[in-house]
Structure 1
Amino acid sequence: MKPGVLAAAIGDAGAEQVSGFIESPFNPLVNQVAARCLTASTVPGERTGMVLVSVFGDSGTTDLASELLVGGQPHNALLFMQATANAILGYLSAEFGISGPLLSVSTTEDPLQLVELLLDGDELDQVLLIGIELAATARTAAAHHVLGTEPQAEDVAVALLLGPAGDGPPAVPPEAGLPGLLAMANTCEYAQVRGHQGGQP
């Protein structure tokens, strides 16, 4: 059965910079939507997992690091650290005491099957699913063309806090990938969307 939606959040321009991360909007947006969901949760960290889904990951950091390299400029060690999407998940796990599994995947498909698998056992009570794509650059737009997907016109991030079936409205995205996650967040009655608290279960 599809997991239930406990809370949801969509990123906006108010994402604050995250200590230890620079330049790219990727990590501030992930932190913003994750915090909006996790601050309302009473489930302990050892019963919580996180899954981050992004086709191209932190393309802002990747492109910047590449530009520095091609330009013969000094390498910035912070860019190397934050180039992996798990870096921000590690930050969130420390901030919210989460000791459940932390996974980053790149896919255009529906990631709910992975969440269902994580919730199928007895170890977790909830999984935070985060989807994010940054506005397309020339490089990622070319990759979108190869994949047959639509480039993002702007930075988009969404988070869905999901629990076992029956704990909230079933998570049934109308389409795959990030568009489906956004659609669920926008229609979730129990959502904390763009920082504003919606209805309560």
Structure 2
Amino acid sequence: MTTASKTTTLEHVVWPAEGEREQPPNLPGFTASPFGPIIAHVADRCLSRHWGEPPAPPERAGRTGMVMVSRLGDMATEAAVTSSVDSGTKASPLLFYQSVPSAVLGVVSARWGLGGPVICISPAGDPLAEGVELAELLIEDGSAADVLVVLVELATREGESDRAEALLVTASAPRGEEGGA
């Protein structure tokens, strides 16, 4: 566990991990882009490391929110829709569903039984810092007890890899108290 000023990180995972294949597992309902499957994969890994198998414990699930952070968003879905429009072909209805960044968070939320707020941001500054700051605000104002922060960026150049990370954060315990969950 690492402690920030207002939150404690309960779990932190990075994708792809060393030695891990660079394609996430398929995610039914998502096509033409790795964006949604990457988010679901890294979110599941983070939550599984902390809570085991879904669903989340009932005493935590209803108060666990999610913050998805991406500077560029799902450029692959955007390119697929643009290509369909430019070529005059009919785009798959799934592309419109998955073009909403929070769609995949709904899949994660349903799988884990999460009931907290869901927010997607595209920060101008440091993605990790801004995502954790938003999580802190959700915890501070009582909207959530725990927040899953998922950062994802698709590769933009040849030779780069898609990358993601997820952190499960909770309020830091006041000085002298143990835990925070």
One-letter code of the match for 1:17? N
Matched, 1:121 2:141: yes
Return the match for 1:22 from 5, 14, 31. 31
Instruction: Count residues with an aligned counterpart.
Output: 154
| Aligned with 1:78 (options 86, 94, 109) | 94
User: 2: distance between equivalents of 1:20 and 1:137?
Assistant: 26
Mapping for residues 121-160 of structure 1, pairs under 5 Å: 121-136=141-156, 153-160=160-167
Q: 1:98 to 1:153 in 2, by over 3 A?
A: same
TM-score w.r.t. the length of structure 1 is 0.71
Alignment of 1:1-201 (within 5 A): 1-12=5-16, 13=22, 15-39=24-48, 40-41=50-51, 42=57, 44-109=60-125, 110-111=129-130, 112-136=132-156, 153-166=160-173
TM-score with structure 2 setting the length: 0.79
Gap change, CA 1:61 and 1:137, over 3 Å in 2: farther
Cα separation, 2, equivalents of 1:101 and 1:123: 7
Instruction: After TM superposition, give the deviation of residue 24 of structure 1 in Å.
Output: 0.5
Alignment root-mean-square deviation, CA = 2.0
Q: Which 4+ stretches in 1 moved above 3 angstroms?
A: none
The percentage of aligned residue pairs carrying the same residue is 33
Q: Could you tell me how far apart the structure 2 residues matched to 1:132 and 1:22 are?
A: 17
**Counterpart residue identity of residue 105, structure 2:** L
Looking at structure 2, the residues matched to 75 and 22 of structure 1 have their Cα atoms a distance apart, in angstroms, of: 11
Counterpart secondary structure, 1:8: strand
In terms of mean alpha carbon deviation, does 14-23 or 82-91 score higher? 14-23
Shift of residue 123, structure 1, vs aligned partner:
4.4
Structure 2, gaps ≥5 residues long:
17-21, 52-56, 175-181
> What whole-Å deviation, never above 9, does each CA across 1:127-160 have from its counterpart, x for those lacking one?
000000101169xxxxxxxxxxxxx922011001
Q: In structure 2, give the amino acid aligned to 1:106.
A: S
* Counterpart residue identity of residue 77, structure 2: T
